[in-house]
Chain A
Amino acid sequence: MNALRRNVLKGATSAGAVAVAVAAGLLKPTQALAAYNKAAFEAKSMADAMNGLGVSSPADSKDITIKAPDIAENGAVVPVEVISNIAGTTSIAIFAEKNITPLVGNYALSGGAQAYISTRIKMGNTALVRAVVMAGGKNYTAAKEVKVTIGGCGG
């Protein structure tokens, strides 16, 4: 058990190196999924989270659909579906902009996987749920506001 903890901790520090390599353009963001991207997932601002994923200036796109409730009854479980109609979509990242750590999930698609992800997320406050899609090496984005009456982060 101690050896496993040591390996997990070693892996945690090496993830920092991966994030630096991504920022330097040495590693493409989808390749960075091979090691957990701590920099992106622990980032406390949207800007830092996007930087951590190697995303800059994503173009607003009407070809990304976000299905989520206008008002979330329970902030602990907010159903979110992201559908990208942009040809060549290779990954979808989902953010809850006002969460303490806005990046919620990052999904890399391969084989016949369609540009569709359905999940349930926690939201602490009324905020935009944002999707960032990578397609053809470029980033696109769309967002939808979800009002939260009872925050779901358990704090």
Chain B
Amino acid sequence: MAEPMKIRATMAGDVADIKVLMNHPMETGARKDAKTGQLVPALYIQDVTATINGAPVLTANFGTGISKNPYLGFKVKGAKAGDKVVVNWVDNTGDKNTAEAAVS
């Protein structure tokens, strides 16, 4: 993918507020290319997982209705500054991406 995922994880009290911006066209398969008139094939993230210090906190499936360059925000209680957040995604073609960040 062109640009890596961005993860920002900050503490608010004892809850880590985690914001992820993924880089992906999220094509539904129903859009026609303006130049060729052909349908652009479906290309979309299907599976997303997030772990904190290796323990799973979020497992998600996306459909084609998630906006291009998916934004995902979630919160984890009991996390602390310095904990490692890792987010992975896999799309419908098997393409993958991963990123990590420390909770600040």
Contacts and interface: CB of A to CB of B under 8 A. Distances in A.
A154 B94 contact: no
A37 B92 CA distance: 12
Given A99-B65, A116-B74, A8 B92 contact: yes
Given A118-B72, A119-B73, A155-B30, A113 B65 contact: no
A110 B58 contact: yes
A108 B58 contact: yes
Interface of A: 4-5, 7-8, 33, 36-37, 41, 76-79, 81, 96, 99-114, 116-123, 152-155
Main secondary structure of the interface of A (DSSP, over half): mixed
B55 A122 contact: no
Nearest to A106: B61
Nearest to A42: B63
Interface residues of B, number: 36
16 contacts: A5-B94, A36-B61, A99-B65, A104-B65, A104-B66, A108-B59, A109-B58, A111-B76, A112-B79, A113-B58, A114-B75, A118-B73, A120-B66, A121-B67, A122-B64, A152-B67
Contacts of B63: 41, 101, 103-105
A81 B74 CA distance: 10
A130 to B, nearest CB: 12
A107 B60 CA distance: 4
Contacts of A110: 56-59
A112 B74 contact: no
